[in-house]
Chain A
């Protein structure tokens, strides 16, 4: 490729950008599902295109922002390492921590259900916990459990516990008095009411907690690796390649993390749709952001 002048590149980018935006605006104004899916996709393609053209055409230094094609190549070349990183960070740290933390939080929520005193005591503490930077316990966990995945899983467990607990408590309050009275009129036992009424009614809350926790788990596992890790792991990869100024590899690792994050979110959303199809937020015509 012959080097283009910056002015020519800017002109090209501006022309293509404006033309594409005008076309996209027309698409966005069309009703229907196809337009609703195509618009964000094409929008992303446009952003990637402009990113590529501008970084290459203006010769933006790699340290600042590598072009998408450079990142893609780095991804391709580094894929064996990245696979190992994903195994370490996601399979060994994020997922076990996520499962244990969420399960423990939910079980605790049920355990304190019969005790308003415990609820009143634990809820303010839990909301405080949701405000503080829990990830900071990572160095402590490393001292306790070593540099391996165990310390990261422990961090993730601690982070995911509180959203699960808070949402379980809130969800169990969701069944209305009328519905409870109905169960009471059947002389239903506490556990029957819990199982047949209150847990199903709590499901939307539980899925909210799981979705929040999925992203918290990934963030927790990666950031915990910033404090120290064996020679693989997504967080390790990011901080190590930064040291070599290999920004294309850093971006490749981030892209992998983003893919894992949005993939798990998509899975959970699908599960939520299947499990809570009856909830108003899932019915057609409901606000799509809620």
Chain B
């Protein structure tokens, strides 16, 4: 038991900022390798060996062209070919499809960030919106907004919009809620005494906003934006599922699904994950670059 507590103590200090680089990098890498090893073994057990033991690369079960569980090396090769095996303008290039999806996701993300911040500002200042609308914004977190994606595509197609815009709208409709709620919390985070202080200066609503509410909200904004970015990318991918979109990771996934192309599914999935990881990682870097302050206790 003492060991467990000591262990947690170690973790706490790590979180408190004492750099434990080796361990912080090493642990996930070791775990990842272990998972890949288990996976590889499973792949040898699950996949039948191809009739013509191809290329003589051992073990041949890893290279079955129609695998049940593709082996990690096989997925790696498929992903690599998808990314770099074709010119980026080719409809077989995953870079091309990732760019199509990312474009829509970023457009939706930008829209959501602006609208969400604006709505949160309005909610904080207008009592009617605070009491009438905010409860619905909170409830809407529990309803599957993504289910409306096919409808948005069809309705916007009817109005003559196709391609990027419907997907961006779907992305924005998902990303919008966390931004709004995060910003509402952030703009409300100043303590009463801080607000009272500004009242003693007879500060105007606008002055209170820029001198207190906005800077207090920044620590809430970036985590919300990271969630919003992840949702925007999911939204763009799901927006590509209905009505047979030609391009984008979602379309690629659907084609793979219809044709039972296991390897293409995995490759697309990995590229989608990398895209999301990079986009959210960029925001994490931005978060680090911003000046940090401790919130009042």
Task: List A residues at the B interface (Cβ < 8 Å).
Answer: 21, 24-25, 28-29, 35-36, 39-40, 42-44, 61, 63-65, 113-122, 124-125, 128, 130-133, 135-140, 142-144, 173, 180, 184, 189-190, 193, 211, 214-215, 218-219, 222-223, 226-228, 234-235, 238-239, 242, 245, 247, 250-251, 253-254, 257-258, 261-262, 264-265, 287, 289-290
Other-chain contact of A43, B136, B266, B269 (Cβ < 8 Å): B136
Chain B residues near A114 (CB-CB < 8 A):
3-4, 7
B238 pairs with A218, CB closer than 8 A? no
Is A131 a contact of B230 with CB atoms below 8 Å? yes
Report yes or no: B272 in contact with A133, Cβ–Cβ below 8 A.
yes
What is the chain A residue whose CB lies nearest that of B278? A131
Q: Is B256 an interface residue (CB 8 A)?
A: yes
Task: Let me know if A63 and B265 touch, CB within 8 A.
Answer: no
Q: Which of A122, A135, A190 contacts B31, CB < 8 Å?
A: A122
Q: Is the CB of B253 within 8 A of A242?
A: no
Known contacts A24-B132, A258-B144, A140 near B265 by CB under 8 Å = yes
Q: In the complex, what distance in Å separates the CA atom of A250 from the CA atom of B153?
A: 13
**A24-B132, A28-B128 known; A238 vs B28 contact (CB < 8 Å):** no
Closest chain-A Cβ to B248's Cβ sits at a distance in Å of 12
Fill in one digit per residue for B214-243: 1 if any A CB lies within 8 Å of its CB, else 0. 000000000000100010011001100110
Minimum CB distance partner of B130 in chain A: A28
Shortest beta-carbon distance from B186 to chain A in Å: 11
- CB <8 Å contact, A25 and B272: no
A257 to B134, CA, bound (A): 21
- Once the chains bind, are B1 and A190 in contact (CB under 8 Å)? yes
Q: Is A242 touching B154 in the complex (CB atoms < 8 A)?
A: yes
Q: Is A35 in contact with B4, judged by CB distance below 8 angstroms?
A: no
- A-B pairs, 8 with minimum CB distance: A121-B31, A139-B257, A43-B132, A265-B142, A121-B27, A120-B27, A132-B273, A258-B143
Contact of B147 among A128, A235, A247 (CB under 8 A): A235
Cα of A231 to Cα of B260 in the assembled complex, Å: 20
| Residues B158 and A64 in contact, CB atoms below 8 Å apart | yes
**In the docked arrangement, what's the CA distance between A142 and B131, Å?**
44
Stretch at the interface among B8-16, B50-58, B88-96: B8-16
User: A39-B131, A250-B151, A258-B144 known; 13 other A-B pairs, CB under 8 Å?
Assistant: A28-B131, A120-B14, A121-B30, A122-B28, A133-B234, A133-B238, A140-B265, A143-B265, A190-B1, A239-B150, A242-B150, A261-B142, A262-B143
Closest Cβ neighbor of B234 among chain A residues: A133
> Interface size on B (CB < 8 Å)?
71
Complex Cα distance, B265 from A178, in Å, reads 50
Residue contact A135 to B238, C-beta cutoff 8 Å: yes
Say yes or no: B28 contacts A120, CB within 8 Å. yes
Closest chain A CB from B270 CB (angstroms): 9
Tell yes or no: B184 within 8 A of A by CB: yes
Q: B68 within 8 Å of A by Cβ?
A: yes
Asked if A25 and B128 make an inter-chain contact with CB atoms under 8 angstroms apart, the answer reads yes
Evaluate contact between A238 and B1: CB separation under 8 angstroms.
no
Instruction: List 29 A-B pairs, Cβ < 8 Å.
Output: A24-B128, A24-B132, A35-B131, A39-B131, A39-B132, A40-B131, A40-B135, A42-B132, A43-B128, A43-B132, A44-B136, A114-B3, A115-B7, A122-B31, A136-B237, A136-B269, A139-B257, A144-B68, A173-B12, A219-B147, A222-B147, A238-B150, A242-B150, A254-B151, A265-B139, A265-B141, A265-B142, A289-B184, A289-B188
User: Given the known A-B contacts A136-B269, A289-B181, are A61 and B158 also in contact in the complex, defined by CB atoms under 8 Å?
Assistant: yes
Given contacts A132-B277, A250-B150, are A119 and B11 in contact (CB under 8 A)? yes
* Chain B 30-63 per-residue mask, 1 if CB under 8 angstroms from chain A, else 0: 1110000000000000000000000000000000
Is the beta-carbon distance between A189 and B1 smaller than 8 angstroms?
A: yes
Query: What's the Cα separation between A122 and B262 when bound, in Å?
Result: 27
Given A40-B132, A226-B241, the answer on whether A117 and B276 have CB atoms closer than 8 Å is: no
- Docked pose: A262 CA to B66 CA in angstroms: 42
- CB pair A173–B11 under 8 Å, yes or no, is yes
Nearest CB in chain B: distance from A249 CB, A: 11
A43-B132, A121-B27, A173-B8 given; A222·B234 CB < 8 A: no
Whether A211 contacts B185 in the complex (CB less than 8 A), given A63-B155, A131-B276, A136-B269, comes out as no
Known: A114-B4, A118-B31, A137-B269. A40 touches B158 (CB 8 A): no
Taking CB atoms, residues of chain A closer than 8 Å to B233 are: 133
Cα–Cα distance between A29 and B10 once the two chains are bound (Å): 50
> Which residues of the partner chain B approach A173 to less than 8 Å between Cβ atoms?
8, 11-12
Taking CB as reference atom, which chain A residue is nearest B12?
A173
The answer to whether A257 and B28 touch across the interface, beta carbons within 8 angstroms, is: no
Distance from A195 Cβ to chain B, minimum over Cβ atoms (Å)? 13
**Residues of chain A lying within 8 A (CB to CB) of residue B147:** 219, 222-223, 234-235, 238, 253-254, 257
Whether B11 lies near A120 (C-beta < 8 A) is yes
B146 within 8 A of A: yes
**In the complex, what residues of B have CB within 8 A of residue A235's CB?**
147
